[in-house]
Amino acid sequence: MNELRVAVIGHRFMGRAHASAWRQVGHFFELPRRPVLQVICGRDPAATRAAAETLGFLEAAASWQEVVRRPDIDLVDICTPVALHHPIAIAAAAAGKAVFCEKPLARDATEAAEMLAAVRRAGVPHMLCHNYRRVPAIALARRLIAEGRLGQIHHFRGVYLNDRLVDPQAPRTWRHDRAQAGGGAVTDLGSHMIDLARFLVGEMTEVAADLRTFIAERPLPDGAGIAPVDVDDAATALLRFAGGAMGTLEVSRFGTGHRNYNCFELSGSAGSLAFNLERLNELALFDRADRTLAGFRTLLVTERDHPYLAAWWPPGHTLGWEHTFIHAARDLIHGIATGEPVSPDFEDGLRAQRVIDAIQRAALSRRWETVPET
């Protein structure tokens, strides 16, 4: 079988998650090409060598610029802080590599548009890693919506909360620095929720929003003093969808009591759906056709005919968070092999970024802002 040699740029949280996916995917799914964990790339040589060993890569490298040009590399998988997505993706595309990029695609829509132009110009496969589209319960939600089981959708309600910043001593990392991250909760958590809203309901046309930074300064992680936080801790927004639905969005790092509460609910003319990532094997479905015996059904999404599940275990044996990356890797490999586009791609990333930018604009302008179509 043809190999697919992968270079992962970044070896922290996301690098580890992606590495696990590349290692595992071929042991559960039939693949047209076999992924090879060729090289992992990071700034600190010792740490990168250790990561290569721990995570199962053949090589460690320090220069992403060199890595993306290596002729033996087929796919560049970008797991760096957000600010690096743009240069790496453009360089990788220019070198003719397939590009897999962690979310959010970029710091803003301008960067995102340039990245999309680059992959299009180069004609390379591109995929944005919004892994939650591949939670089986969410993929099932999409299938049920496509089948018309919700009818006309009236409401979307998306809430994504963690509570990492409630403690004033929680350190300021790159995630709280606009230059590196592009934004705060609105980009980090908001990009997930906006991608899901697009995936399930469709495009948003207008937004009103509020952003807040509750704690303006935080200690640096290395004990080197205090630094300002110039991104939002939390964002709320009202959404209007092209299809007629109205929506609300709340993302926050001050959601006390919630660790990874990515929770949404859709109400339609025929039914409703609800999901919570902390119970990612479950989907709640309400079907109006059940009439006076109707109620939200808690589906345990582990059946063979639920999305991705045939590859795993018998019904009732749950998956975890990291499996979503395996599903993404599976679909990306198929896309690369077949030449079929895989979604979400950089265009999806650009469209999501336009919503994020509109939210940020609306928070400043104090009025509804239009999400540009182009």
323: enclosing H helix or E strand: helix 323-338
The Cα–Cα gap between 202 and 190 comes to: 16
Question: Distances from the Cα of 245 to the Cαs of 131, 156, 276, 357, in angstroms?
Answer: 24, 7, 21, 21
> Is the CA virtual torsion 217, 219, 220, 221 positive or negative?
negative
Q: Which of 236, 260, 261 is nearest to 248 (CA)?
A: 236
Q: Is 270 in the site for a second copy (CB under 8 A)?
A: yes
Q: Is 319 in the site for a second copy (CB under 8 A)?
A: yes
> Is the CA virtual torsion 190, 195, 201, 202 positive or negative?
positive
The Cα–Cα gap between 112 and 115 comes to: 5
| Shortest Cβ 86–a second copy spacing (Å) | 25
Give 28 or 219: the residue with its C-beta nearer to a second copy.
Answer: 28
Site for a second copy in 328-357 (CB under 8 A): none
Q: Is 360 in the site for a second copy (CB under 8 A)?
A: no
Site for a second copy in 139-178 (CB under 8 A): 144, 150, 154-155, 157, 159, 161-163, 166
| Shortest Cβ 220–a second copy spacing (Å) | 19
Give 59 or 114: the residue with its C-beta nearer to a second copy.
Answer: 59
| Shortest Cβ 110–a second copy spacing (Å) | 26
Q: Is 322 in the site for a second copy (CB under 8 A)?
A: yes
Q: Which of 246, 338, 340, 364 binds a second copy (CB under 8 A)?
A: 246
Q: Which of 286, 344, 351, 371 binds a second copy (CB under 8 A)?
A: 286
Q: Is 55 in the site for a second copy (CB under 8 A)?
A: yes
The Cα–Cα gap between 132 and 196 comes to: 8
Judged by CB under 8 A, the stretch of 41-49, 84-92, 247-255, 346-354 that binds a second copy is 247-255
The Cα–Cα gap between 113 and 105 comes to: 10
Q: Is 303 in the site for a second copy (CB under 8 A)?
A: yes
Site for a second copy in 176-215 (CB under 8 A): 208-210, 212, 214
Please check whether residue 282 is in contact with residue 276, taking contact to mean a CB–CB distance below 8 angstroms: yes
Site for a second copy in 92-131 (CB under 8 A): none
> Is the CA virtual torsion 197, 198, 200, 205 positive or negative?
positive
